[in-house]
Amino acid sequence: MDETTARVTWPDSMLSRYGDMLSVADVSHVLNLEPRNIRCLLTSTDAATRLPGVKIGKSWRIARDQLRIYLIGHHNEDSALSSPNDERGPTS
């Protein structure tokens, strides 16, 4: 798999089992973060780091496509080609 293919499939492979809209719990599971951290991203006053979402009553919903765009735009270049579940060998 080349670098371009890896970048395109990386967030899609994490999100493929979810519907069009994800809950805070879904996103926290996908990103392996606490739900309170997802809520902080949703309510951030910094537009550059704010996770797009919509609040319906007391619940937040995040569109899968918007989450995908957010992840691509905020990825770390060093880890863009690997998923959090990849096992890494010794670095020495």
Reading phi first (left if > 0) and then psi (alpha if -120 to 50, else beta), residue 91 is in alpha
The model's pTM is 0.71
Q: Which amino acid is at 12?
A: D
pLDDT tens-digit profile of 33-73? Answer: 999 999 999 999 999 999 999 999 999 999 999 999 999 88
Is the pLDDT higher at 92 or at 71?
71
In whole angstroms, give the CA distance from residue 92 to residue 86. 18
Determine contact, residues 27/67, Cβ cutoff 8 Å.
yes
pLDDT tens across 21-43, in order? Answer: 999 999 999 999 999 999 999 99
Query: Do 1 and 47 form a contact (C-beta atoms < 8 A)?
Result: no
